Amino acid sequence: MFFQEPTPDTSGYMIAGYVVAFVVMAVYVASLYLRNRNLNRDLAMLEEMDKSVIKVEPEQLKKKPVKSVTKPRRKNSLNGK
Amino acid sequence: MQSKPVALKILDIISILVLGIAAYLALVIAPTELVMGDVQRVFYFHVGTAWTALLGFIFSAVLSVIYLVTKDLKWDRIQVAAIEVSLVFFLITIVLGSIWARPAWNTWWTWDPRLTTAAITELIYVAYFMLRQGIDDPDRRARFGAVYALLGGISAPITFFAIRLFRTIHPVVIGGSNMEAEGSFSMTPDMLSVFFFALFAFTIIFIDLFWNRIRLGNLQEQVEQLKLKVVG
């Protein structure tokens, strides 16, 4: 009992360990939150785009008929008539 | 925007509570180990995170088999979630072990069989995500990922049994003792209670993060599908 060494003070290492554990977990939770938020924004934007495409397309098709790229042929004057 | 299920919200709250209780028990209630002092208290989080991470890696190997049989991408998303959360937990395990080793072994790191196998396991799963990043086709990515995770899963039991199979200075806490171990200790009933609560707490936290990560994967898939629809 008289020769027993005193317990060393290793509390600094203990604090460092718990700080690291909590920081790593907090960073991971934050990354999950941020990725989730960004994906929800993307989803909302894409849904909006998807709706607008469906709404506009049929109206635009009625109003703007597809123009012919080729010019209408002129009657050949050499053949007469 | 998808709202969180009530069960998951409750699990989030329970996870925060059990983490707080586990920290309180480890830092305040557990008795101080006489030889190592306060640094021994990191052992509760070290083993808690290691336990869940290694189980997570083995679980991901099982998910690989399910994916390869069914070819359903849902299982691939679940596998990615399991590996990601396990990777984070195992990183905590390794860092805590290194911090404990400094006063106990007088070094931050040594190429002991347990430490070496643990480092290899962590790197295998870091490489898993690098592999996935390099493949564009979702089916091909899932197939390669599944085969890789199946082979990588072997590293988890090797890491667990390393201290039982090889001569090592790492203490054996559960099921046996190691004559060469440096820094081993016998747990008092109070220490055992805190230890088992930490295992329980980290299992709950793992399930909670795993569930959240699966939902993130599903959301990612939804965005990808809609992107293809809009662009196509």
Please name the residues between 14 and 53 in chain B that touch chain A, using a CB distance below 8 Å.
Answer: 19, 23, 27, 32-42, 45-46, 49
- Structural domain span for residue B224: 6-231
Q: Which residues contact A32 (CB under 8 A, 6 or more apart)?
A: B209, B212, B213, B216
Could you tell me if A47 lies within 8 Å of chain B, comparing CB atoms?
A: yes
Q: Which is nearest to B18 in space by CA: B217, B209, B162, B224? A: B209
- Chain A hits for B209, CB-CB cut-off 8 Å, are 28-29, 32
Could you tell me if A59 lies within 8 Å of chain B, comparing CB atoms?
A: no
CA–CA dist B132, B138 (Å, integer): 9
Mean pLDDT, consecutive 10-residue stretches, chain B (232 aa), reads 88 97 96 90 96 96 97 96 98 96 93 93 97 94 97 92 84 68 77 95 98 96 91 77
> In whole angstroms, how far apart are CA B137 and each of A39, B46, B55, B125, B134?
20, 38, 29, 20, 10
Note whether B100 contacts A17, CB cutoff 8 Å: yes
Distance from the Cα of A79 to chain B's closest Cα (Å) equals 49
CB-side neighbour CA atoms (13 Å) of A4: 6
C-alpha dihedral (B212, B213, B215, B217), degrees to nearest 10: 170
At residue B216, the pLDDT reads: 97
Residues A14-45: tens digit of each pLDDT: 999 999 999 999 999 999 999 999 999 999 99
Out of A8, A28, A39, closest to residue B223 by CB: A39
Residue A40: Cβ within 10 Å count: 14
Domain ranges of chain A: 12-64
Predicted TM-score (pTM) of the model is 0.86
Please say whether the beta carbons of B91 and A24 come within 8 A. yes
Note whether A50 contacts B226, CB cutoff 8 Å: yes
Q: Which residues contact B82 (CB under 8 A, 6 or more apart)?
A: B56, B57, B59, B60, B63, B210
H-only helix segments in chain B? 6-24, 42-70, 73-105, 113-133, 138-152, 155-165, 189-231
Given a cut of 70, whether residue A51 has pLDDT beyond it is: yes
Note whether B223 contacts A46, CB cutoff 8 Å: yes
Given a cut of 50, whether residue A81 has pLDDT beyond it is: no
Q: Would you give the end-to-end CA distance of chain A in angstroms?
A: 129
User: b vs e for B49-78, b when ≥16 Cβ sit within 10 Å of the residue's Cβ?
Assistant: bbbbbbbbbbbbbebbeebeeeeeeebbbb
CA–CA dist B20, B123 (Å, integer): 30
Please say whether the beta carbons of A24 and B88 come within 8 A. yes
Give this complex's ipTM: 0.92
Out of A17, A32, A50, closest to residue B42 by CB: A17
The confidence band for A74, taking pLDDT boundaries of 50, 70 and 90, is: low
Out of B41, B222, B229, closest to residue A14 by CB: B41
Q: How many domains would you assign to chain B? A: 1
* Mean pLDDT value across chain A: 78
In a domain, residue B222? The reply is yes
Please say whether the beta carbons of B98 and B109 come within 8 A. yes
Locate the chain A residue with the closest alpha carbon to B49: A21
At residue A80, the pLDDT reads: 45
The gap from C-alpha B177 to its chain's centroid, in whole angstroms, comes to 24
Range A62-73 average pLDDT = 55
Could you tell me if B227 lies within 8 Å of chain A, comparing CB atoms?
A: yes
H or E stretch including A28?
Answer: helix A11-63
